Structure 1
Amino acid sequence: MIKIFASVLRQFLFWMFFFALNRALFLIYYSQLVSLEKPGFSEVMAGFWNALRLDMATACYILILPFFLLLLRSLINARIFDIANKVYTFIIIVAYTLITTTELGIYAEWKTKLHYKAFHYLSNPDEVYNSASTGQFIWLVLIFLIMTALSFYAYHRLVYRRPLLMKRNYFASLAFLIITPALLFLGIRGGLQEIPITQSQAFYSKHNILNLAAVNSGYSFSFSWMENHRFMKENPYQFFDDDEAISILEEINAVEKDTTIQLLKISRPNIVILLLESWSADLIHSLGGEEGITPEFEKLANDGVLFTRLYASGNRSEQAMSSIFGGFPATPVAAITHNLEKVVELPSLTERLKEEGYLTSFYFGGHLMYGGIKSYLRIAGFEEMTEIYDLPASMPMGKLGAHDEYLFDYQIEELDQYPQPFFSVIFTLSTHSPYDQPMDKVLDWGGSENEYINSAYYTDRCLAAYFEKASQKDWYDSTLFIIVADHSHNSYRHWPVTSPQYRHIPMLFFGNVIKDEYRGTKIDRLSSQADIPVTLLKQLYLPTDEFRWSHDL
């Protein structure tokens, strides 16, 4: 029994060391690019620690077939299972090493991990060869051959050096059948947390090259292929030829005359975005909802600028992120945050503000790895990022993370430490199921959405407390607050999911930086979250040409 479990453990450790070796090779190969970023040695080495969970998940995926082979080996005394295990391992080593050595060749040009589009080049391998210098090509071939040979030699000599000699033991086989799949499943999902692991788990640094080094190359490539393989031969969204599509887009984006209304008293305010989880317009009386759900928001709206016809770009939080910070509308099938090679090409509101001297931060009481959000936010340029792992252990938590009131208080104290101007985002959590906010129910109606509207009542109360505390800070009078939902939610009115009413969400500009004559006004222009970057940058007198999908409201 010990032998069969020990064999799995040895194979698991082999893959963990194998992944770490490939990561070290990437960092050494691109040491000059790494040094240009000027990270500290400890920050570079931290990548190996932050990579562990994704490496473990990848290793557990790989060990699924060896598990079945070992199970059969424990029941049937035949060497064919040992041979099959070695052949399988050799194939995986070759495939993984091919991915990593290819990344060595393409990173300087692509600045991304190897992704599904690599398959497009297999039909023209001479193009791949011609795009690299002869010297580089020879180096990469040598690295591939040496890494493959050394890795398989190590596996053969140290991990699976001789056939397993096991007596048939049905009890041991049964224990192996029960325990090992449970451990593999736990490793694949990354632990017992609510949200399974994603590539975002490995992102930890403001230096993108270190984040990409930490992401397991095999996991990244496989995920990219699974997300996009259906569309490798054709673009499923192409309904016009390119020239006609560009012409239509230019016509839509044409601005005959800049008629921007300057709402702000100062040109470089601090900016705080309060991103509200799943807030429907039906929660807000002034947007057509029932009275009494969010009375504190109503008070804020009476002293701010309310956008009455804002519709969610998508129905997932990750889609909202790329819209709000990249000015990019949500795409069907797969969110752009799942495609790192595309994310790096997006413009970034955060980076634009950093160029103007803003310190940038993002706060969330839960797990940011969901939906590729963490990796997107890192690439978008957020310098300081706080999620559940970074919060004090003493902070009261719900099932998904920190309750809104405690995260609000935490961010206010953090902002006290930042130089001005700052750009900070706080993403709420309590209006997401399971609605375990620390408050007794106040509203006794709403039917199946009773818990949802009570959670909104709680967050609304937290907003009032937030602004009461923030108003006592020195930076308050110089701060523009933008309150906006990430997406909508089913409400007590049960709109069809395809209806405009279902997508209707709130957005409010608020703060003492708004000129007195514009407080309490409403803007009725049809809009989405993708319009936030240009609208905000116009208020700061900054250029907006790169945000082609965003409009000034």
Structure 2
Amino acid sequence: MSALLKAIVRQFLFWILFFAITRFVFIVYNYGEILEDHVSLLEQLACFWHALRLDFATSCYFLILPFFVFLFQSVYFVDWLNKVVKIYTYILVVIYSFVTATELGIYPEWKTKLHYKALMYLSHPSEIANSADSKVFFLLLFIGAIQIGIGIFLYKRYFFKDLVKTKFIWFQSLILLLIFPPLLLIGARGGVQQIPINQSESYYSKANIMNLAAVNSGFNLFISVHENMENFKKNPFQQYDPKVAEAEVRRILYTPKDTTTEILTTTHPNIVLIILESWSADLIESLGGKPGITPEFRKLESEGILFNNLISSGTRSEQGMACLFAGFPGHAISCITVQPDKYPKIPSLTKTLKKQGYSTSFYFGGQLIYGNIKGFIMSNGFDKIEEEKDFGNNVIHGKLGVHDEFVLERQHQELNKAKQPFFSALFTLSSHSPFDQPMPEMLHWKIKERRYVNSAYYTDHCLGEYFRKVKKEPWYKNTLFILSADHSHGSYNDWPFTSPMYHRIPMMFIGDVIKKEFRGTTCNKMGGHHDLPATLLKQLKLDASPFRWSLNLLNPTCPEYGYFSFEEGVGWVRKNSYFSYDERMNHFHQMKLPKTEKDSLIKEGKSYLQVLFQDYMHY
């Protein structure tokens, strides 16, 4: 058994070393840009440390075949199987070297790692060779060949040793069979935590090139292929000629003129965005919810503007982040946050504000690795990001992370020291299952989702305490607070998942920077939280045109519609009309459409998803 264990360990160590070598090549090749980004030597070296977990996971995937070959040899020795492992490793070395050498070529132009879309272009190598600079093309071939040579040499010289026939001891082989497959599985998913590992685990730097260097190229490409293999062949939601669908969407989004209602006393306020985990409109009394669930939110309504007709386009937190920070609605099948190669193509609210001199920060009590949110948030250029690991053990942790009262207090204290004007986002946690908030249940109602409702009561209580404190700070008078859900959640009303009522969410602007005549009012305009970027930027008199899908809800001439997505379908809402349609099943789950407008409204909704998904594919 010792020989088998040593063989597996040697395989593992080889891959860790080889990944580090190719990473070093990437850094050296792009060192000019790294210097331009003023990345310190210590931060460059940290790249190798932050890469380890993804390298470890990728190595576990690569070890699956060798493990079973070695195990078989321990039971029934066949000498030629040694060559199988050797050839298998050589093939992976060649493929991985090809991937990393290709990344050297595409990064200067695309600023991404190799992804599925780029892989599709590589299916026409002659076209690439003709369009590429000859010197660069042959240099990359040379680098790839050198990497292959180094990899094969190191593996053959220092890591691979033929297994020799030994006495078969059945219980040793049985132990290995029982122990190693689970260990490889755990290693491949990055541990036993609830959320499997993804590219976010390697993000650590404000210089995106260092984050990309830290991300394992093989792991990144696998995720990209897995997410897009079917979807890049053809838009799965194409119902109409692309030009017809595009014209329909342009008509839907068309705003005849800018007559923005200016609600702020200043165009340069501090901005605090509090993202409320899974808050449904059914939690808010003013939006039709039961009284007593969120009494503090109810009190705050008198100090601002409540948007009372919003529908969440997505159903997951990563989709909510894309809505709020990029103005990009959620859609079926996938999410743009899990595709790092698309980040440079989409607009960023954070970067827009940074150009205006805002300092920026983001606070979350959990693990941002979920849905690759960390990678997305870092790509937005936040100056400061704090998550669970930054809070230590002096605060109460639940199963998913630090509870809301402690995160809100951390942000409060940090904002007292922040450079103004600031844009600070905070993502709450405690209203996410398993709802283990550190407060006894206060609402003993015999209703469905009782625990969810009590978790919202807790977060609401924390918000009340937070606002009582921050109102005493000198920066409060020049601060706009925005409260918005990331997405909705099932409630005691038991709305069907495919109905518009299920997806209704709250959003509110509050603060002393809101003109007195607008405090305690409502905005009845139908829309979604992906409309936040345009709505906010127009109040600051900034250009919102890059946010194609985001509309200005405080412009009376702005069009109104509601959109939501699910699995492989679309929900579409107009005044007194709606439908939800599943593309895969060719089935309407919900429909309330006047006969005279039925066809045109169905065309609107289907065109919207078709063009939105086409944009996602194009990025």
Residue 66 of structure 2 is matched in structure 1 by 66
Please tell me the residue identity of whatever aligns with 1:292: G
Deviates more, 1:347-356 or 1:247-256: 247-256
Q: State the partner residue of 2:255.
A: 255
Give me the whole-angstrom Cα distance separating, in 1, the residues matched to 2:211 and 2:351.
Answer: 17
Residue 347 of structure 1 and its aligned partner are, at CA, apart by 0.5
1:122 and 1:18 map into 2 onto residues whose CA distance is 24
Q: Would the aligned equivalents of 1:446 and 1:492 in 2 still touch at CA under 8 Å?
A: no
Query: CA separation in 2, counterparts of 1:527 and 1:351?
Result: 24
Deviations 1:341-374 (A, max 9, x none): 2222000000000000001111110010111111
| SS of match in other structure, 1:308 | strand
1:446/1:537 CA distance change after superposition, 3 Å = farther
In the TM superposition, residue 251 of structure 1 has moved relative to its aligned partner by 2.5
The amino acid that maps onto 1:505 is: I
What one-letter code is carried by the residue in structure 2 that aligns with 1:224? S
Q: Which residue of 2 aligns with 1:15?
A: 15
Letter in 1 for 2:375: S
Deviation of 1:146 (Å): 1.5
Q: C-alpha separation between the residues in 2 aligned to 1:99 and 1:179?
A: 32
Q: Which moved more, 1:244-253 or 1:132-141?
A: 244-253
Residues 155 and 161, structure 1, Cα contact 8 Å, conserved in 2: no
- Of stretches 255-264 and 517-526 in structure 1, the one that deviates more from structure 2 is 255-264
Partner of 2:574: none
Structure 2 equivalent of residue 158 of structure 1: 158
Cα separation, 2, equivalents of 1:122 and 1:375: 26
Match of 1:467, SS state, is helix
**Corresponding position of 1:362:** 362
Following the alignment from structure 1 to structure 2, what is the Cα–Cα distance between the partners of residues 110 and 27? 16
**Structure-2 separation of matches of 1:248 and 1:194:** 42
Task: Write the distance in 2 (CA, Å) between the matches of 1:235 and 1:488.
Answer: 27
The offset of 1:165, in angstroms, is: 4.3
Name the residue aligned to 1:339.
Answer: 339
For residues 361-510 of structure 1, the aligned pairs below 5 Å read 361-510=361-510
Name the residue aligned to 1:518: 518
Distance 1:437 1:510 in 2: 26
Deviations 1:200-231 (A, max 9, x none): 11111111111111110000001100111112
- Match in the other structure for 1:528: 528
Q: Is the 8 A contact 1:3 1:166 kept in 2?
A: no
Q: Deviations over 1:4-32 (max 9, x none)?
A: 11111111111011111111100000111
Deviation at 1:140, TM superposition (A): 1.0
The residue aligned with 1:292 is 292
Unaligned runs of 5+ in 1: none
Identify the residue that residue 107 of structure 2 maps to in structure 1.
107
* Secondary structure at 1:63 match in 2: helix
Return the letter of the residue paired with 1:166.
T
Q: Which amino acid aligns with 2:103?
A: E
Instruction: Choose 416-425 or 150-159, whichever is displaced more.
Output: 150-159
C-alpha distance in 2 between matches for 1:200 and 1:358: 25
Given that 2:482 and 2:509 are in contact with CA atoms closer than 8 Å, whether structure 1 keeps it comes out as: yes
TM-score (norm 1): 0.98
- Give me the whole-angstrom Cα distance separating, in 1, the residues matched to 2:31 and 2:44: 10
Aligned pairs for 1:50-449 (under 5 A) are: 50-449=50-449
* Alpha-carbon separation, structure 2, partners of 1:196 and 1:529: 28
**Please, what is the CA RMSD of the aligned residues?**
1.2
> Within 1, Cα distance between the matches of 2:208 and 2:508?
33
Which amino acid letter does the alignment assign opposite residue 7 of structure 1? A
Write the distance in 2 (CA, Å) between the matches of 1:232 and 1:192.
32
CA distance in 2, matches of 1:19, 1:64: 17
Do the aligned residues in 2 keep the contact of 1:488 with 1:502 (CA within 8 Å)? yes
3-state SS of 2:272 partner: strand
Q: Which letter does structure 1 place at the counterpart of 2:85?
A: N
Distance (Å, rounded) in 2 between the aligned partners of 1:504 and 1:231? 28
Is the Cα–Cα contact under 8 Å of residues 72 and 81 in structure 1 kept in the other structure?
Answer: no
Q: Is the 8 A contact 2:368 2:374 kept in 1?
A: yes
Distance in 1 (alpha carbons) for counterparts of 2:193 and 2:233: 37
Q: CA deviation at 1:155?
A: 0.9
Amino acid at match of 1:411: Q
In the TM superposition, residue 161 of structure 1 has moved relative to its aligned partner by 3.0
Structure 1: how far apart are the matches of 2:107 and 2:381? 20
Q: Confirm or deny: 8 A CA contact 2:7 2:161 kept in the other structure.
A: no
For 2:415 and 2:181, the matched residues in 1 are separated by 46
2:452 & 2:347 partners in 1: Cα distance? 34
1:373 and 1:463 map into 2 onto residues whose CA distance is 23
**Distance 1:176-1:542 versus aligned 2 partners, 3 A rule:** same
- Residue identity over aligned pairs, in percent, reads 49
Aligned to 2:543: 543
Query: C-alpha offsets along residues 121-171 of structure 1, whole Å, 9 cap, x if unaligned?
Result: 244211111121111111111111121122112111211133344321112
- Asked if the contact 2:485/2:505 (under 8 Å) is kept, the reply is yes
SS at match of 1:142: helix
Q: Determine if contact 1:364/1:407 at 8 Å carries over to the other structure.
A: yes
1:190 partner amino acid: G
1:370-406 alpha-carbon deviations (Å, 9 max, x no partner):
1111111111221211111111221210000001001
> How far off its partner does 1:446 sit?
4.6
- Are the aligned partners of 2:203 and 2:378 in contact in 1 as well (CA < 8 Å)? yes
Alpha-carbon shift at residue 277 of structure 1 (Å): 0.3
The answer for the alignment partner of 1:27 in structure 2 is: 27
Matched AA of 2:230: R
Distance in 1 of aligned mates of 2:97 and 2:544: 42
Tell me how far apart the structure 1 counterparts of residues 87 and 75 of structure 2 sit (CA, whole Å): 21
Q: Secondary structure at the match of 1:28?
A: helix
The residue identity in structure 2 corresponding to 1:520 is G
- Contact map agreement 2:57 2:187 (CA 8 A) in 1: yes
1:417 deviation in Å? 1.6
Q: Match for 1:406: what amino acid? A: F
Deviations 1:474-533 (A, max 9, x none): 211111000000000000111000111100010010111111110000001001011000
Taking the aligned partners of 1:187 and 1:466, their CA distance within structure 2 comes to 40
Decide whether the 8 Å contact of 1:23 with 1:214 is kept in 2. Answer: yes
Cα deviation for residue 179 of structure 1 reads 2.0
1:337 and 1:372 in contact (8 A); partners too:
yes
SS at match of 2:417: coil
Q: Is the CA contact (8 Å cut-off) linking 1:446 and 1:453 kept in structure 2?
A: no
C-alpha separation in 1, matches of 2:250 and 2:234: 24
CA contact (8 A) 1:403 1:429 kept: yes
1:238 is displaced (CA, Å) by 2.6
Q: Would you say the 8 A contact 1:314–1:487 is kept in 2?
A: yes
Instruction: Please tell me the residue identity of whatever aligns with 2:131.
Output: S
Aligned-partner residue type, residue 467 of structure 1:
F
Aligned residues: 553
